[in-house]
Amino acid sequence: MHIIDTGLCGVKRIQPKQFGDARGWFAETYNADRFLAAGLPAEFAQDNQSFSSRGVLRGLHYQLEQPQGKLVRVLSGHIWDVAVDLRRDSPDFRKWAGFHLKPPSPDQPLEMLWIPEGFAHGFLVLSETAEVLYKATRGYYPAGERCIVWNDPTLAIDWPLDQLAGLTPEVSERDARGAAFLAAELP
């Protein structure tokens, strides 16, 4: 497995090795011993999967008291995945990074994104539909659930809205009521 630093402290691109032949390919996407040896978490508490249509924007989500690290992978479609560093003691506090994530193809390697605890996470669906699978280091904790509004001017995330063919991002009621970054309760 190749682990690639992204420039945002702690966020990694992970490219598992694929073994292929005329029948297709096989890849080991998680192995506790290999993850531990690479400095990644060896245990996950919960798997989540979502299916969304073009223009759906989920996030920017995070949890207080029981933060979640996330290992994100796209099973079908194309998303713009965003991580925002909320760790006050981090040199990257308040910085964000965005990543195009797609399933593997002849010119696209199998790739996952590791987002450590202490980050807000969200994504925008750029294809007709997308299925996203992510492993979380802790379970869902409703009392600690928080959201920063996706278009917060302080963060100024450069969402690729031009790729939506004129659609306006579709967010849940909860996400639409997300806090402004400067007013958000942070970890």
Report the CATH number that the domain containing residue 150 is assigned in CATH. Answer: 2.60.120.10
Is residue 20 included in any domain, yes or no? no
User: Considering the chain, what percentage of its residues have pLDDT values greater than 70?
Assistant: 100
Q: Is 100 a catalytic residue?
A: no
CA distance 130 to 54: 8
Please pick, among 100, 121, 134, 141, the residue that the annotation labels catalytic. Answer: 134
The answer to the question of residue 13 being in a domain is no
pLDDT tens digits, residue range 3-59? 999 999 999 999 999 998 899 889 999 999 999 999 999 999 999 999 999 999 999
Mean pLDDT of 81-90: 97
CB atoms inside a 10 Å sphere around CB 130: 24
Domain-located, residue 133: yes
Residue 92 has pLDDT above 90, yes or no: yes
Task: Check 61, 62, 78, 121 and give the catalytic one.
Answer: 61
Mean pLDDT of all residues belonging to the chain:
96
Q: Measured in whole angstroms, how far is the alpha carbon of residue 31 from the centre of its chain?
A: 20
| Domain contains 1 | no
Tell me how many domains the chain contains.
Answer: 1
- For the question of residue 78 being annotated catalytic, the response is no
Which backbone phi and psi does 59 adopt, to 5 degrees? 120, 180
